[in-house]
Amino acid sequence: FSSTGKFSEYCSPSTSTKKIYDRYQQVSETNLWDTHYEKMQRDLGNLKEESNRLRKLIRQKMGEDINELKYKELRDLEQNLEEWVKRIRDKKNHLVTNQTETCKKRIKNLEEQNKMMRHMMEEDEAERGLEDDGDYESQLALGVRNTHLFAYRMRPAEGNIHDRGYGLNDLRLG
């Protein structure tokens, strides 16, 4: 390496980094790649063993390949499965409880909105002078069917309509 720490400053345009490594191996009579290759082979073997062990464990947890297990291993597996089922049930119950609470809150909110809207409608009807007297039975007795009669209330500021000249005495036929 150069004083600047760059390996490429020793390379001429016709020389590649691979050629320099190959030349170094010839001169020093060592193989730079063997130790690296051997380490990779060991790592690959370890990873394959771990993969096989995990696959076997998964198969056992799925109920396969359990014939070779001893009593203690089967008991431990059963206890683990029971713990997992308990955790799953607890999580499921927690989710159901949360959803139920959310629905209850929505229902309560909608009921409050409904109550407010009914109150607003009653106030609006009162402002317009509409009053539901609820006396429908007497209307049916008079022969009036499927109609809803409302009594009109006058505001005090409007005065009496009889004082405006709309009485029966003022009505004349043409």
pLDDT by position in tens, the chain (length 174): 556 666 555 566 677 777 877 877 888 877 877 878 899 999 999 999 999 999 999 998 888 888 888 999 999 999 999 999 999 999 999 999 999 999 999 999 999 999 999 999 998 888 887 555 555 555 555 554 455 555 555 555 555 555 555 555 555 554
The pTM of this model reads 0.44
Residue ranges making up the domain that contains 54: 10-68
Task: Enter the tokens of residue 170.
Answer: 């003022």
pLDDT at 17: 74
Length of the chain: 174
Residues linked to residue 152 through DSSP beta bridges, in sequence order? 130
- Burial class from Cβ neighbours inside 10 Å (0-12, 13-18, 19+) for residue 33 reads exposed
Number of domains in the chain: 1
Q: What are phi and psi for residue 61, nearest 5 degrees?
A: -70, -20
Query: What is the rounded CA–CA span in Å between residue 113 and residue 101?
Result: 18
- Beta carbons of 21 and 12 less than 8 angstroms apart: no
**Domain presence at residue 60:** yes
Domain-embedded: residue 105: no
Question: What amino acid occupies position 47?
Answer: L
Does residue 40 sit within a domain? yes
The 8-class DSSP code of residue 151 comes to E
90 within some domain:
no
- Contact between 131 and 125 under an 8 Å Cβ cutoff? The reply is yes
Q: Please compute Rg for the chain using Cα positions.
A: 47
